[in-house]
Structure 1
Amino acid sequence: MEACGSAHYWARTIRSLGHQVKLLPAQHVKAFLLRDKTDAMDAQAIWVAAQQPHILPVPVKSERQQTCMALHGMRRQLMKMRIMQTNALRGIMSEFGIALPLGHSQLLKAIQAEMAKAQLEDRLPADLVVSVQEQLKRVDALDEDIEHIGHRLHATIRDDRQMQAVQRIPGVGDLTASALVASVGDFSTFKSGRQFASWVGLTPRQVGTGGKTQQLGISKRGDTYLRTLLIAGGARAVIAKSEKSAWITRLLERRHYNVAVVALANKMARTAWAVLAKGVAFDLVRWNPVELVKA
């Protein structure tokens, strides 16, 4: 079957009937679709793609995994709506000569004082003030909803040993740990940590012709949300700390800051594969051996 909408549900249902299910990535099946798209042509493309040894099947997700990813999806949607609300407030206020700082939290801290100051100077109409206050209440409600989903994800981690194991890796928090385990499930489907990092899109693209191979930037293939958590939510936060490991310090001496961030995200992904595929506990000595030897 193609790994498209509702495919995991039907895969679990067909498995319960005693059949073996193989889910194929939809973008790889599309390459074998000839001529017009019909049910017969789709079935033929799936059959041909299933014979290709280089196309890895998609692991069938459990209900628990799908529930976790659904919570992540709802949280992302709420955060997007919150950004839209605060950006709209910033634009509206700028039309009346009120400059608000960038960033969600910074805007909420400054907007009430700026509005009070503008009201004293008679620069804001009363109807606008009431409407802005109503929109701020909607932003507060979104904050509460996002916090509730965060609590549910935290409760999920308390009941999952794999999430707890990967959470010991520096830079892997609640969101990254739950998304890693829920989106992948069985890490043993990847032969190595590099293959998993390549699946996430954290390895360089390669262009080769005439026997010459050139490495470019990262491929950015695979799960965009998971890659964003590893880079922005994990690696960048670790490097931004005042106390950096010896490995990161040496890397920053010879590479650009953003290159070091992606390199650390790649290392985090490979370490997560080693912990979950091999079933070994996270080893801080192997993570940063030079610093501990000096200590």
Structure 2
Amino acid sequence: MKEIKILGIDLAKNVFQLHGVDAAGKPALRKNVSRGKLMETLANFPRCLIGIEACGGAHYWAREISKLGHEVRIMAPQFVAPYRKSGKNDLNDAEAICEAVSRPHMRFVAVKTEAQQSALMVHRVRASINTERTALINQMRGLLQEFGFVIAKGASNFSKRFLEVLEKENLPLDAVEVLAELRGHLLTLEDRLAKYDRMIARMLKDEMVARVMTIPGVGPVTATAVVATVGDAKVFHNGREMAAYVGLVPRQNSSGGKTRLGRITKLGDSYLRSLFVQGALIVIRHLGDKKDTRSQWIRSLVERRGVKKAAVALAARMVRIAWALMARNEPYKPATS
């Protein structure tokens, strides 16, 4: 067998497809390997560059394969697709991965540690609980409205206001029983949400998380999420690339030397994007009479473009600042007036 320099692996649940090329770029290996035999097979290969697509288990396999001395790089599937020939199958996918990983300007995903994946697990479950809680509150609010009772928006004191309606108003017994059960479920969700908030609070001991939290508008949830998701910020060449990853840069339709910018792309990580935009809205809401350079810029932006567009612009700037703090290990330096 020829010496393999670059290897593409199409990950799967049970059977993995391998495609390798030699130093001249000619095919040297095409092979199916079972899940249990993958590490044994790769251990017999000389040190080489291995490419895999970002998918379930990709970070685990990247960590394990790296222990064998190979250089492993993860790529987003949309960057691999243009290199696929003809139809989509395991063999073509592995060949496309092998070709894509060799490109000099390919963008790669930083391999996450187990700690980072654990942190993201906390965020994912917390987000699902929060979504369920919001849906339940909306359902309870709608059911009360059927009886002519309207509770103001806001989740923080909803349970207390809801209980006051049940105690003071004369509702049918069956309705009270159903609504009381829903409130009990809501309290359970709030207890679970508080538990995950405490888990996130334990992550604040991380130096990088503490540094990112110094950015105005970035709280514990956003700071821990961005550090766990991005990992090594140096995989982005600049702050704009990281903002593009979050989906906060304008979509371009430029041609003939004329630049045309549209709405934000909304590509990348929607969870991070929503957290940064929410943080930006909080900053705008608490501007008050602040006279520093940053506050004046935000205030003028709100006057020209409105609150929502200003929040998106501020969120993009916050992401760029976060990149600078993470990639350069610099402390946050607020703009002086």
TM-score, normalising length from structure 1?
0.90
Separation (CA, whole Å) in 1 of partners of 2:149 and 2:263: 41
Deviations 1:266-295 (A, max 9, x none): 1111111111111111112xxx222xxxxx
Partner of 1:238 in structure 2?
283
Match of 1:128 among 156, 161, 175: 175
- Aligned residue type for 1:163: V
* Shift of residue 107, structure 1, vs aligned partner: 3.2
Separation (CA, whole Å) in 2 of partners of 1:267 and 1:211: 26
Moved more, 17-26 or 30-39: 30-39
Separation (CA, whole Å) in 2 of partners of 1:101 and 1:142: 20
- Aligned residue type for 1:50: V
**Pair 1:36 & 2:87 matched:** yes
**Structure with max Cα Rg:** 2
Summarize the alignment of residues 141-290 of structure 1 with structure 2, pairs less than 5 Å apart.
Answer: 141-158=188-205, 160-232=206-278, 234-241=279-286, 242-244=288-290, 245-284=295-334, 288-290=335-337
* Shift of residue 65, structure 1, vs aligned partner: 0.4
Match of 2:71 among 20, 37, 46: 20
Greater length-normalized contact order (CA 8 Å, ≥ 6 residues apart):
1
Separation (CA, whole Å) in 2 of partners of 1:253 and 1:95: 40
* Shift of residue 67, structure 1, vs aligned partner: 0.5
Mind listing any 5+ residue stretches in structure 1 that lack a counterpart?
A: 291-295
Mind listing any 5+ residue stretches in structure 2 that lack a counterpart?
A: 1-51
Secondary structure of the residue aligned to 1:4 is coil
Moved more, 70-79 or 205-214: 205-214
* Shift of residue 103, structure 1, vs aligned partner: 2.8
Closer/same/farther in 2, CA of residues 275 and 7 from structure 1, 3 Å limit: same
Larger strand proportion of the pair: 2
Partner of 1:85 in structure 2?
136
Separation (CA, whole Å) in 2 of partners of 1:71 and 1:185: 16
Q: Retained in 1: the 8 A contact 2:109–2:235?
A: no
Partner of 1:293 in structure 2?
none
Partner of 2:150 in structure 1?
99
* Shift of residue 130, structure 1, vs aligned partner: 1.6
Secondary structure of the residue aligned to 1:22 is strand
Deviations 1:22-80 (A, max 9, x none): 11101222333333332111111211222333331111000010001100000000011
Separation (CA, whole Å) in 2 of partners of 1:105 and 1:252: 27
Summarize the alignment of residues 64-75 of structure 1 with structure 2, pairs less than 5 Å apart.
Answer: 64-75=115-126
Separation (CA, whole Å) in 2 of partners of 1:246 and 1:84: 37
TM-score, normalising length from structure 2?
0.79
Secondary structure of the residue aligned to 1:56 is coil
* Shift of residue 90, structure 1, vs aligned partner: 1.7
Deviations 1:182-240 (A, max 9, x none): 000111111111222122111111102333221111111111111111111x1110010
* Shift of residue 143, structure 1, vs aligned partner: 0.5
- Aligned residue type for 1:93: L
Identity of aligned residues (%): 40
